[in-house]
Structure 1
Amino acid sequence: MCGSWLICFLLTYFNVLPTKPDEYGYTARTDLKVDAVTSAPWFHVPYPGQWGLPTVSVSSVLGMMAGVLASTMESIGDYYACARLSGAPPPPTHAINRGIAVEGIGCILAAIWGRGKLTHHLGLSLTMGPVHEQVGSRLVLQTAGVLMIVLGLFGKFGAIFITIPDPVIGGMFLVMFGMIAAVGISNLQVQVHAAQVHTDKPKNSFTES
């Protein structure tokens, strides 16, 4: 992802990419949202209600309920997928209940502070090394969470990521959701080409995605 971002930056810097919005390749430029970087503060502490009082309507409540139900079902599958990728036993029911409850609390806090919530990084991190070097530790994700909170206080740092071109973000999502789909298929132990594929190995799942 960083490599693609760098290539887009160089193509933008040397004015290789088109400058007209209706031309193919324009969205790959990294200077489309540079104003957000210049206007972002160097240091900012988010606080509850910084975007004003919340508004409530029937349509928004029903829409959010549908999104929460879909996210809950997805999270249940993610828990099993993460356990499989990290070599842990399947999570028991009470652990899944606690996970859904904590996710709900996290969504409420994120809404109060006006911030988003990021997940689904464990699968990608597990594919970056040899099988015997994989790490599925809560400490890794806890450390990443603390880093995100600290770095989120620096407005310029967060604004820089706004310059990531949409095609690069789209490629990242293709890999991420491809990994999720591949792990789901691996749970079914499907037969491909009349032979069982060893999809229990994260690298194979990454290749299939």
Structure 2
Amino acid sequence: MYTGCVTVPLVFGAAVGLDTATIGLLINADLLVAGLITLLQALGVGRVLGVRLPVVAGATFASVTPMILIAGEYGLPAVYGSMIAAGVFGLLVAVPFARAVRFFPPLVSGTVITVIGLSLIGVAAGLIAGPDPAARDYATPSHLALAGGIVLLIVLISRFTRGLVAQLGVLLGLVGGTLVAIPMGLTDFSSVGHADWFGVTSPFHFGAPEFPAAAVISMCIVMLVIFTESTADMLAVGEMTGRPLTSGDLARGLAADGMSGILGGVMNSFPDTVFAQNVGLVGITGIRSRYVAAVAGGVLVLLGLVPKLGEIVASLPGPVIGGAGLVMFATVTAVGVNTLRKVRFEGTDNLLIVAVSIGVGMLPVAAPTIYHAFPSWFQIIAGSAITSATLTAFLLNLLFHHTGRRDGDDGPGTPEETPERKPSAVAPVTADTVSH
């Protein structure tokens, strides 16, 4: 879970060209906010916020690409302003979304998760090879070999270990890669000595928030993606703990996700979702106490109060982050494909919906300048693979399955329940299932 939390600020910071100290700040802010939202989800605030289940929150990969695009077009104040606006939007739509979750079946969520992973693989490649193709050290064999070695190490850990060690494969890959990078001269920890042992990130570090309309719309769509992920995880944990969730329970959990957008925007962090890794741990360990999750949230808060630790992580070289990120992002893609296994394709138009949604979503990834002749607001929305894929999949699902049925149309998502398709207590897979 720690790996997932720190990877998002590492990837975002490197993509927008932030220095090591600033990336360290993002890491600490991210851990702090994730811990606070975990406490909120586990303990709850009356009948207003928090699902009151043993769930753990963490930064979602769904926000990375839209935030990078917004930063490039409008700057970092717009990134965090649009995040705050999306958080307010999340609070407002939590109740109706909980009641209308049928409009986001596995057909939509699986397609979007697939595109999230595919769109981020290019980011991993940029970290491994370097940002400038004209640079002398661009894609040097030693950098590629280092990243490849990390991928191999993660594979071997997963293959030959079990339990906690296997769960920590990506984190161990980061550590191992860093140790190899030191004699290669790729590491620079000189800034770590200047970092404080304890401290809190100052609010609005990048200035007063700004709210460009296109950026706000894009981040609001990301919030709907986050809601889709969290809903699946909360339903699974509710089933495991013997507490079937009502729409009110879901709405309080989703409202906490919305609060993460507001808090993240103020504290220079990222929107959070319910992490699927913790769902798996609930099933594996059988520990169903929400107070255990609350303690985990407290640990995350403490980690977020140690700037020196964030500075160490921020100093990791690009090929190391890229090698681990390649595995994580490709895993997200595989998770999306696995989610689509719940969809019935025979005798339906679902294959066409998936195909068109992925095609539209991947256009700006395959050709980043394809929308250069359009206004900047359109480029922010359509130029994000995640935003465009989400809109396309959602609208096509409405068109084919909610605007009048044709003969033989059995609906958008899962087929009639059969023994192999019945809901189970197995943890669902979402965009943030990035380990094991």
Fold agreement, TM-score > 0.5:
yes
Residues 170 and 39 (structure 1), Cα distance of their counterparts in 2 relative to 1, 3 Å cut = farther
Residues 147 and 49 (structure 1), Cα distance of their counterparts in 2 relative to 1, 3 Å cut = same
Alignment of 1:168-187 (within 5 A): 168-175=324-331
Task: Tell me what 1:143 maps to.
Answer: 295
Confirm whether residue 9 of structure 1 aligns to residue 178 of structure 2.
Answer: yes
Which 5+ residue runs of structure 1 have no aligned equivalent? 20-28
Cα distance, 1:152 vs. partner? 0.9
Give the Cα separation in 2 of the matches to 1:189 and 1:160: 49
Cα distance, 1:95 vs. partner? 0.1
SS at match of 2:208: coil
Task: Tell me what 1:91 maps to.
Answer: 245
SS at match of 1:51: coil
In the alignment of these two chains, the number of paired residues is 185
Query: What per-residue deviation string (whole Å, max 9, x for no partner) do you get for residues 19-42 of structure 1?
Result: 7xxxxxxxxx6x2x6466455433
Match of 1:158 among 310, 325, 341: 310
Query: What per-residue deviation string (whole Å, max 9, x for no partner) do you get for residues 46-65 of structure 1?
Result: 23323321111111111112
Cα distance, 1:123 vs. partner? 2.8
Give the Cα separation in 2 of the matches to 1:140 and 1:117: 23
Confirm whether residue 70 of structure 1 aligns to residue 222 of structure 2.
Answer: no
Aligned letter for 2:179? L
Moved more, 95-104 or 180-189: 180-189
Residues 124 and 159 (structure 1), Cα distance of their counterparts in 2 relative to 1, 3 Å cut = farther
Give the Cα separation in 1 of the matches to 2:342 and 2:241: 13
Cα distance, 1:172 vs. partner? 3.9
Percent of pairs with identical residues? 20
In the alignment, is the contact (CA less than 8 A) between 2:238 and 2:245 conserved in 1?
A: yes
Residues 76 and 201 (structure 1), Cα distance of their counterparts in 2 relative to 1, 3 Å cut = closer
Give the Cα separation in 2 of the matches to 1:59 and 1:186: 33
The alignment yields a C-alpha RMSD, in angstroms, of 3.9
Task: Tell me what 2:261 maps to.
Answer: 107
Aligned letter for 2:178? F
Task: Tell me what 1:24 maps to.
Answer: none
Task: Tell me what 1:42 maps to.
Answer: 197
In the alignment, is the contact (CA less than 8 A) between 1:126 and 1:202 conserved in 2?
A: no
Give the Cα separation in 1 of the matches to 2:415 and 2:192: 47
Confirm whether residue 82 of structure 1 aligns to residue 237 of structure 2.
Answer: yes
Query: What per-residue deviation string (whole Å, max 9, x for no partner) do you get for residues 123-143 of structure 1?
Result: 34346xxx4x32233222211
In the alignment, is the contact (CA less than 8 A) between 1:44 and 1:155 conserved in 2?
A: yes
Aligned letter for 2:295? T
Cα distance, 1:11 vs. partner? 2.2
Give the Cα separation in 2 of the matches to 1:198 and 1:96: 21
Task: Tell me what 2:382 maps to.
Answer: none
Residues 202 and 175 (structure 1), Cα distance of their counterparts in 2 relative to 1, 3 Å cut = farther
Aligned letter for 1:160? I
Cα distance, 1:202 vs. partner? 4.4
Give the Cα separation in 2 of the matches to 1:196 and 1:77: 18
Cα distance, 1:80 vs. partner? 1.6
User: Structure 2 length normalisation: TM-score?
Assistant: 0.35
Residues 3 and 202 (structure 1), Cα distance of their counterparts in 2 relative to 1, 3 Å cut = farther
Query: What per-residue deviation string (whole Å, max 9, x for no partner) do you get for residues 183-206 of structure 1?
Result: 886796999xxx949994649x89
Residues 68 and 36 (structure 1), Cα distance of their counterparts in 2 relative to 1, 3 Å cut = farther
Which 5+ residue runs of structure 2 have no aligned equivalent? 1-169, 344-413
Aligned letter for 1:102? A
In the alignment, is the contact (CA less than 8 A) between 1:36 and 1:159 conserved in 2?
A: yes
Structure number with higher relative contact order (C-alpha < 8 Å, ≥ 6 residues apart): 2
SS at match of 1:165: helix
Residues 102 and 177 (structure 1), Cα distance of their counterparts in 2 relative to 1, 3 Å cut = farther
